């Protein structure tokens, strides 16, 4: 792990995708940029994926991050939504890998836990903590952007990059979410 590194955090989505980029230097985090990619105006899912890929490549080329931190899809009831979300995550990871940027996935609860100390924190609580951690004057305009920043901050707190990542095994998921298990 170098003394200075740039982390790109992504909250994948096919309607709105959030991102945040931080500079980590001398045990201090500094906001570089944050934002969202609004995709809901595009009806074609394949076009949305292409836009995600192109925009992540653009962010990588502009800011030269050393690492990518991305929120892993969580278990949901709507299978089609999960598939679309997984595709958005996949093209984001593919963009990073095409530029030889290592990535790590984090479960949503892990990100919330790392940023707020509470794995069940609301998006608003995450945004307020990010505002404090990065000494931001205002809250991020979009909660998706603060979620992207949260992924980057979580990665910083976890200590660095892995060449690939996993949000954990099914066994770990079920132990953290016992009510989700169907007998």
Residues marked as binding? 11, 71, 144
Catalytic residue among 61, 138, 141, 144: 144
First-to-last alpha carbon distance for the chain, in angstroms, is 44
103-106 sheet: strands from edge to edge: 28-38, 16-25, 4-11, 67-71, 103-106
**132 contact partners, CB below 8 Å, separation of at least 6:** none
Q: According to the 3-state scheme, what is the secondary structure of 96-122?
A: HHHCCCCEEEECHHHHHHHHHCCCCCC
Binding residues for Mg(2+): 11, 71, 144
SS3 127: helix
Contact predicate 153/29, CB 8 Å: yes
Backbone angles phi, psi at 24, to 5 degrees: -115, 120
67, 71, 105, 147: the active-site residue = 71
Is 71 part of the annotated catalytic residue set?
A: yes
Catalytic-residue membership of 67: no
Question: Beta strands 16-25 and 67-71: pairing type?
Answer: unpaired
Catalytic residue among 11, 67, 105, 147: 11
Q: Please enumerate in sequence order all residues whose Cβ is within 8 A of that of 112, keeping only pairs 6 or more positions apart, or say none.
A: 118, 119, 120, 121, 126, 150
Is 44 considered catalytic here?
no
Residues with active-site annotation: 11, 71, 144
């Amino acid at each position: 792990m170098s003394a200075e590194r740039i982390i790109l955090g992504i909250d994948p989505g096919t309607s709105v995708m959030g991102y945040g980029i931080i500079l980590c230097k001398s045990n201090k985090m500094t906001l570089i940029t944050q934002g969202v990619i609004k995709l809901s105006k595009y009806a074609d899912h394949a076009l949305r994926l292409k836009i995600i890929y192109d925009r992540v490549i653009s962010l990588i080329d502009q800011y030269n991050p050393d690492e990518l931190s991305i929120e892993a899809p969580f278990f949901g009831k709507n299978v089609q939504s999960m598939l679309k979300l997984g595709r958005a995550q996949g093209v984001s990871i593919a963009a990073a890998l095409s530029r030889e940027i290592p990535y790590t996935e984090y479960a949503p609860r892990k990100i919330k836990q790392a940023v707020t100390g509470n794995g069940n924190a609301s998006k608003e609580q995450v945004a307020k903590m990010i505002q404090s951690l990065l000494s931001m004057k205002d809250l991020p305009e979009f909660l998706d952007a603060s979620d992207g920043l949260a992924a980057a901050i979580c990665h910083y707190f976890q200590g660095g990059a892995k060449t690939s990542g996993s949000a954990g095994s099914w066994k770990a998921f079920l132990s953290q979410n016992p009510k989700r298990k169907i007998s």
